[in-house]
Structure 1
């Protein structure tokens, strides 16, 4: 089947967290049509999917939720297992126990399949190398490599776009503000590893990173 390419539309890999929501706002600004693709991998907190749905409804974005429960079976970690405590700090060696092996690769691959069926080439994801937390699949070289592989695998010219790749959390807050979504990101997103929306629990690594960036941005806003 020949798919007509549409550069006026984009697919956003969307979790309902701070970074992906900022990417969703970015896409809304730059494209006429935006599709959000979210993934149910039996993550520890179903509230994550609830937050994603609420944000899509508020922004009038068409959302598709894909079943990725096999990932839960293959890669047990503290974000999918209630009996595993979330690492409070990054380990001296190796990846944190919040890292899900293969997650970004699988999410982007399935998002690409979805995008091709829609005739869309542009896929946005909120990974950032600047806020690298020991996650190898957030690196720019991985994204570039996967982009080439997806193009070859499907004989299609995808463009994986990473608006946050070279900015830190402080700058991410600034970008959300410039896009008119500061309050939405602060109040409706779920970044917390303990499943608390908005400012979160304040103690997990995700909350600490988010708060550090927010405080720095508010100090100069």
Structure 2
């Protein structure tokens, strides 16, 4: 089966970045499929938010069980007894080893099954918190590996790769969904939708990015 040039699979968590990428994909391709992974994350709300957004946007949505990842790579995103922290010279406790490797590999398998040429992910090297599997070199390498492994010409898209959080808010605004992303998405490590707890690293990064974008917009 050949791959459809106008079909894309979006790795979708229901957070700010992946939701912005979902709307980017909807504008870019004729058919979009979202895939969310259940890997034992602390907050089931993440999956519920992804399901709600996909339903509202009339996007076909798959939720795949990857609970084995939790067993192999315990971390602060999956274990309530592990504190969210970052020590100097170390990766944050929220880093899940192999997560994007596994997510994109399974997204590639799904793309093969549904005949989608394009894969979209919200990884970003500018605001990547030190995660090695958010780097451009990793994505390019995996793109080659996926193509060789299935003898297909997939294209991995990373619309946010070189954007900071302010730019990401700007993209959402350009797509006409800034308020939607602000109110409907879940980025907070404490599982609070929208503005979040305002204290965790994800909320601070998100809030600072929005403030910076709004300031830039006002200056214009």
TM-score range, shorter chain: over 0.9
Shift of 1:91: 2.1
Q: Does the CA contact (< 8 Å) of 2:6 and 2:117 recur in 1?
A: no
Separation in 1 of the partners of 2:3 and 2:151? 13
Q: What's the TM-score once normalised by structure 1's chain length?
A: 0.97
Q: What secondary structure sits across from 1:39 in the alignment? A: strand
Q: 1:199 aligns with which of 180, 195, 199?
A: 195
* Ranges in structure 1 where 5+ consecutive residues have no aligned partner: none
Q: What secondary structure sits across from 2:216 in the alignment? A: coil
Pair 1:210-2:206 in alignment = yes
Separation in 2 of the partners of 1:160 and 1:147? 6
Q: 2:57 aligns with which of 56, 59, 72?
A: 59
Q: What secondary structure sits across from 2:129 in the alignment? A: coil
Q: 1:100 aligns with which of 89, 93, 96?
A: 96
State the aligned residue count.
217
Q: Note the alpha carbon deviations across 1:74-100, whole angstroms, 9 max, x for none.
A: 00001100111211xx32112100000
Root-mean-square deviation (CA), in Å? 0.7
Pair 1:44-2:6 in alignment = no
Q: 1:180 aligns with which of 149, 173, 176?
A: 176
Shift of 1:211: 0.5
Q: What secondary structure sits across from 2:94 in the alignment? A: coil
Q: What's the TM-score once normalised by structure 2's chain length?
A: 0.97
Pair 1:10-2:8 in alignment = yes
- Off by >4 Å, runs of 4+ in structure 1: none
